[in-house]
Structure 1
Amino acid sequence: MSDKVYNVLFICTGNSARSILAESTMNHLGKGQFQAFSAGSFPKDAVNPLTLEALRLHGYASTNLRSKSWDEFATPTAPAMDFIFTVCDKAAGEACPAWPGQPITAHWGFSDPSQVEGDDAVKRQAFNKTLMEITNRIRIFLSLPLEKIDRMSLQHELRKLGEQ
């Protein structure tokens, strides 16, 4: 495996649940080969507390996570992204900033756990379900031989993975 560290940005509209779950999961499972970030097109004021609870429950880092605008990652001083994934349908349809470095992009849609109605147990179950779906998709992504696959094939595989 190469020494390259891949930068990954997960985008959602509010940057309070799905993209935050993906950021923490990728940083945990990527074991230093991936540096994940998250952002939103219209970020909330704070990360959803149930997002942080789900991450802690599964042993993923939950400190220093914050809801932020995707504008932070479209500046010349921002880290160059290798991959950008939209994780909600609304963000996938929005006009994104021009990302420096021509990252590979794909849409990986997940249900929004913050939209689930019911008691706290039902809401927690929704967050845990979404976290498990994100974890499974990231595990598959991490199993791809990135240094052996050409850019077009990788783009195709990542988009196909989003359809699962």
Structure 2
Amino acid sequence: MSEHLPSVLFVCVHNAGRSQMAAAFLAHLAGGAVEVRSAGSAPADAVNPAAVEAMAEVGVDMSASRPKPLTDDAVRASDVVITMGCGDTCPVFPGKRYLDWRLDDPAGQGVAAVRPIRDAIEQLVRGLLAELGVVVAP
């Protein structure tokens, strides 16, 4: 019998900054121990270049990431749904755990303004991994 991997979906409006950074950190730190998704209620055309640069500074490559639309299927397939400013546009299904991470939106910001958002996301992701019982290197 196969072991169920916890599944996490990160959602923000454009899926171009916060949710992309959170998904990238979770995938990077969990090393395959968590299924990771991200999506946007109104996806942008591309990931925020300042977010890509800020993540590269800490050794996480997001250069191939692309914004994806939020679907009911993505929510249904996830154990934990973490919203970041998408408000009421996120579908709610029974039996899912919902968290709302209040973070500044990096849209239109330079890399200097994105760094503190990135660092806050990393701490939240590390806390989530601890709650999920996933051990990561410091």
Q: TM-score range by the shorter chain?
A: 0.7 to 0.9
Counterpart of 1:57? 57
Counterpart of 1:9? 9
* Corresponding pairs, count: 133
Q: TM-score, normalised by structure 2?
A: 0.84
CA contact (8 A) 2:24 2:60 kept: yes
Question: Any stretches of 5+ residues in structure 1 without a counterpart?
Answer: 117-122, 148-164
Name the larger-Rg structure. 1
| CA distance in structure 1 between the aligned counterparts of 2:37 and 2:132, rounded to whole angstroms | 22
| CA distance in structure 2 between the aligned counterparts of 1:8 and 1:64, rounded to whole angstroms | 20
| CA distance in structure 1 between the aligned counterparts of 2:116 and 2:61, rounded to whole angstroms | 18
Equivalent position amino acid for 2:101 in 1: W
Equivalent position amino acid for 1:97 in 2: P
Counterpart of 2:89? 95
CA 1:45–1:102: 2 relative to 1, 3 Å: same
Q: 2:105 matched to 1:112? A: yes
Quick one: percent identity of the two aligned structures? 30
| CA distance in structure 2 between the aligned counterparts of 1:65 and 1:145, rounded to whole angstroms | 25
Partner of 1:11, secondary structure, is strand
Cα deviation, residue 58, structure 1: 0.8
| CA distance in structure 2 between the aligned counterparts of 1:95 and 1:62, rounded to whole angstroms | 25
Question: Any stretches of 5+ residues in structure 2 without a counterpart?
Answer: none
Partner of 1:132, secondary structure, is helix
Q: TM-score, normalised by structure 1?
A: 0.72
Counterpart of 2:27? 27
> Which has the bigger relative contact order, CA under 8 A and spacing at least 6?
2
CA contact (8 A) 1:4 1:33 kept: no
Higher alpha-carbon deviation: 123-132 or 59-68: 59-68
Structure that is richer in helix per residue: 1
Counterpart of 2:80? 83
Q: 2:137 matched to 1:144? A: no
| CA distance in structure 1 between the aligned counterparts of 2:106 and 2:63, rounded to whole angstroms | 20
Counterpart of 1:133? 120
| CA distance in structure 2 between the aligned counterparts of 1:56 and 1:17, rounded to whole angstroms | 13
Cα deviation, residue 103, structure 1: 1.9
Instruction: Give the alignment's Cα RMSD to 1 decimal.
Output: 2.4
Cα deviation, residue 97, structure 1: 2.7
| CA distance in structure 1 between the aligned counterparts of 2:63 and 2:127, rounded to whole angstroms | 25
| CA distance in structure 1 between the aligned counterparts of 2:132 and 2:103, rounded to whole angstroms | 24
Equivalent position amino acid for 1:31 in 2: G
| CA distance in structure 2 between the aligned counterparts of 1:6 and 1:146, rounded to whole angstroms | 10
Cα deviation, residue 95, structure 1: 3.3
| CA distance in structure 1 between the aligned counterparts of 2:63 and 2:49, rounded to whole angstroms | 12
